[in-house]
Structure formats: C-alpha cells, structure tokens
C-alpha cells in the first residue's frame, strides 16, 4: 500500500525530511511559510501555522494521510502530534508530555536526575530572578544561564565565555523569563547524536558538530546554527575511541526511561575530559543536523516510519561512508538585526556535488525574499570533510551575494583546532 505522509514545517530541516521521504510516498506538507524546495517535492503544500493542531488534523484528514511527521519543536509543544495521533494518524514525533524533554529545560534536568541518566551537570532551577542572581554570586565556578522554555537556541548565556557574572545577572533582571536553569559550565567540544525512537527501540545516526556562533572563529552571538559537519565514520575527528558509544549509552538510558517516546531524540553533548556530558535534549531533528545525516542515510526513511507505526522492530540504519559539510546563508545582520524583505535568487548546480536546502524564505509570486531567519543551506557530500567543505564553498560562491556565511565551518584549520583543543584539555 502506498503511504500518504503529511510533513509539518517549512524550514531547512523539513526540506531535508521531504527529500528523504518523497521518493517513496505521496508527500503533502503544511507550514506557515511556503518553502519552495518542499513545494517542489510535495503533491500539495498548504499554508497552515505549525502550531494550529486542529487545522493540521483537518488538512491531514482531507488528504487521507496515513502517516505524519512534525518537524519543528513549536508544533510538538503545541500538541500537534497528540491531535494527529488522536485522529488516528500515526505521527512520528513525541506527544507534548514527552516533548517536555526539550520544551522545559527545568523538567529535563530534573528528569535526568530522577532517572539517573548519566552525563547530567550540576544545576539549579529558579522562578525568582533575584534568587538566581544570588546563586551566581555563591557558585564556585562558571555557569550557563538558560531560560527554561524554548528560545530557538538563542537564549543561553555562558559566564566566562559570553558574559561576566555581572552581565549574567543584568540579563536575568532585564528578562521576562518565568523560570531559568543555572548549570555548571561544561568545557570541551560540542557534538550531537540524533536517534530514531519508537516502540522502546532506537537507532542512531552519525555524530555532528554544529556551530552556534554567528561569526568565524566562534565569535559573536548564538544563532539557530550556522552550519555543521560529519565525518566518514559515526565519530568525529576530535573524539577518542569510546566517546561516541558513551553518548549512545546516555540516549539508551533516556529511551528506557521514556517507553512511550516516538520520533527523533536529539542529544547535544559536550565532550569533556570526563567523557560526554549532556548540554540538552531536543525532541526533533536538529537544524542543520538533519541536513548532514539524512542525505547519507541509505535506508529508506519511510521504512522507519512504517515500522514505528506497525509496532515492528526498527530497521537497522545504513549510512554512506561519506563526510558532509553544511553551511547556512543568512540575512545580513542575523541574528541580532536581520534584514528581511530582500529579493534573492539562488542558483546551485546539484550535479556538481552540493545539495541546496531552502529554510526561511518567503516565496511570493514574483520570486523569493528573505525573512528574519536563516535563508538557505548548502551541503557538500564527499569522501572527506575537506572535500565536502570545498563542494559547499563552490556552491555558495555560485548561489549569489547579499548573505552572511561562516566560511570557516568544515575547514581543515577549524577541525584541527577542535582536535588540538581536546588534546590540550586531556593534557596530551
């Protein structure tokens, strides 16, 4: 039987999902923005807010959807998976209660503590900002200051890296956050592992290193992610034998503690001298990490969704032995003062070895326009990180002007800096 799949979301992550699903199913999509890449792959693309659960269910029923997948965290927090499941449309995405592992960072840390999940740093939660400021004064060491709710990856301030203790306290006092989490600053190298989860099982993807800072050399404010890379193996160049497996053990502990979880479980880790520690969990694919892992997934992604729905064992995942480098093109001024409304023309010759993923662009009758968020990404796929980086750069050079890009992502220089950093921390 042919499957009819509804994809909820219109960003680069969802374009990657659409590419992975479209060859094997009848794909329909809905989002608040018209993503031209998804629209080209889908039989139909309806403009619906990603959080409008009732409207999404009505649309899913109108196209006789047999499966659904929710891309963005806002939709999961709004209970879209709950509503679709209740309507009898199996949704590969956690219901709102399980999605709290991402949407409520205070819950996330308490859950890890109560379930003895390894890799949990010291933390404390506050709904009184003055009490949080007192904790900063009293704590022996640097802290990461995190709003408890969703902030699109841009709300975290790290003392000793981005801000001073006084600036952190000023940030808290000036904010309108209802709850915050203060946690031990982790020092090392970040990486993420995404897992496909259903029926108490999970299957993992290669490790990815994302780059949150806006500017080259890891300078500037945090963003939703400026780009990322993978290696030809599941591990990354700065990781030692056993580091990847240790992070997978953390994911396994979470899956064991959440037997009803389904969808993507994304673990963001800091590789420290004591092994991987958990920065956070997300309840969906990463953006840009989906664009690194799905293009090299050789197992049909639809097979994962069908097995999940049928209560069957999830298929083992096969990945091509290739590296990927993803680089985002973002509006000038992003993320603090992005310039929206600029008309853009993007030309990427995919036959040359790089893939184009549209993200937050506004498709109008007379062309494409920028929004205040990331515009598009290109992904090079090759037999080495440096080879993939060259393909991504070539594609960006042909894609047009007027964007900000972190050109250092995936370069031999930056990757070597990661290796040297971990060697220094280990005292090698």
Q: Residue 291 corresponds to which tokens in the numbers above? A: 């664009």
Residues 407, 412, 417: CA angle, nearest 5 degrees = 95
Q: How many CB atoms lie within 10 A of CB 379?
A: 29
Q: Which pLDDT score is estimated for 150?
A: 80
Tokens coding 69: 């997948």
Q: Provide the whole-model pTM.
A: 0.95
**Would you state the structure tokens that stand for residue 235, as one six-digit string?**
């591990």
Q: What is the mean pLDDT of the chain?
A: 95
| Cis status of the peptide bond prior to 335, with omega within 30 of 0 | yes
pLDDT of residue 428 exceeding 90:
no
Q: What is the pLDDT of residues 117-141, one digit of tens each?
A: 999 999 999 999 999 999 999 999 9
Give the pairing type, strands 219-222 and 227-230: unpaired
The edge-to-edge listing of strands for the beta sheet with 26-31 is 44-47, 26-31, 4-8, 67-70, 90-92
Tens digit of each residue's pLDDT (9 = 90 or more) over 10-68: 999 999 999 999 999 999 999 999 899 999 999 999 999 999 999 999 999 999 999 99
Sheet holding 367-370, edge to edge: 343-344, 367-370, 361-364
């Amino acid at each position: 039987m042919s499957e009819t799949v509804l994809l909820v979301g219109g960003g680069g992550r969802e374009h990657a999902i659409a590419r992975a699903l479209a060859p094997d199913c009848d794909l329909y999509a809905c989002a608040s923005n018209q993503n031209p890449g998804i629209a080209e792959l889908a039989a139909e693309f309806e403009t619906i807010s990603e959080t409008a659960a009732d409207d999404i269910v009505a649309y899913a029923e109108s196209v006789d959807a047999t499966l659904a997948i929710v891309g963005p965290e806002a939709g999961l927090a709004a209970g879209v998976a709950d509503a679709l499941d209740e309507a009898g449309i199996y949704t590969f995405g956690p219901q709102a209660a399980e999605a709290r592992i991402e949407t409520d960072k205070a819950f996330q840390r308490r859950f890890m503590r109560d379930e003895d999940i390894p890799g949990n740093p010291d933390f404390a939660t506050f709904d009184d900002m003055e009490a949080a400021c007192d904790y900063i004064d009293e704590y022996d060491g640097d802290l990461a200051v995190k709003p408890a709710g969703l902030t699109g990856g841009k709300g975290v301030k790290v003392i000793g890296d981005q801000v001073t203790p006084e600036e952190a306290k000023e940030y808290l006092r000036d904010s309108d956050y209802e709850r915050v989490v203060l946690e031990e600053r982790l020092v090392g190298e970040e990486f993420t592992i995404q897992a496909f989860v259903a029926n108490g099982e999970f299957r993992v993807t290669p490790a990815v290193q994302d780059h949150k800072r806006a500017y080259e050399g890891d300078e500037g404010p945090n963003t939703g992610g400026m780009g990322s890379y993978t290696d030809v193996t599941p591990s990354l160049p700065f990781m030692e034998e056993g580091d990847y497996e240790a992070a997978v053990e953390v994911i396994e502990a979470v899956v064991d503690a959440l037997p009803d979880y389904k969808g993507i479980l994304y673990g963001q880790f800091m590789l420290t001298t004591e092994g991987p520690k958990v920065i956070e969990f997300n309840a969906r694919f990463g953006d840009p990490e989906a664009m690194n892992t799905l293009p090299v997934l050789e197992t049909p992604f639809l097979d994962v969704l069908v097995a999940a729905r049928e209560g069957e064992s999830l298929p083992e995942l096969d990945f091509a032995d290739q590296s990927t480098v993803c680089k985002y093109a973002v509006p000038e001024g992003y993320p603090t003062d992005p310039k929206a409304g600029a008309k853009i023309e993007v030309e990427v010759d995919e036959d040359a070895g790089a893939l184009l993923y549209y993200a937050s662009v506004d498709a109008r009758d007379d062309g494409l326009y920028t929004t205040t968020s990331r515009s598009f990404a290109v992904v090079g796929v090759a037999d080495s990180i440096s080879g993939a980086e060259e393909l991504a750069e070539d594609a960006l050079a042909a894609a047009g002007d007027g964007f900000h890009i972190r050109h250092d992502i995936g370069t031999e220089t930056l990757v070597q800096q990661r290796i040297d950093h971990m060697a220094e921390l280990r005292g090698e």
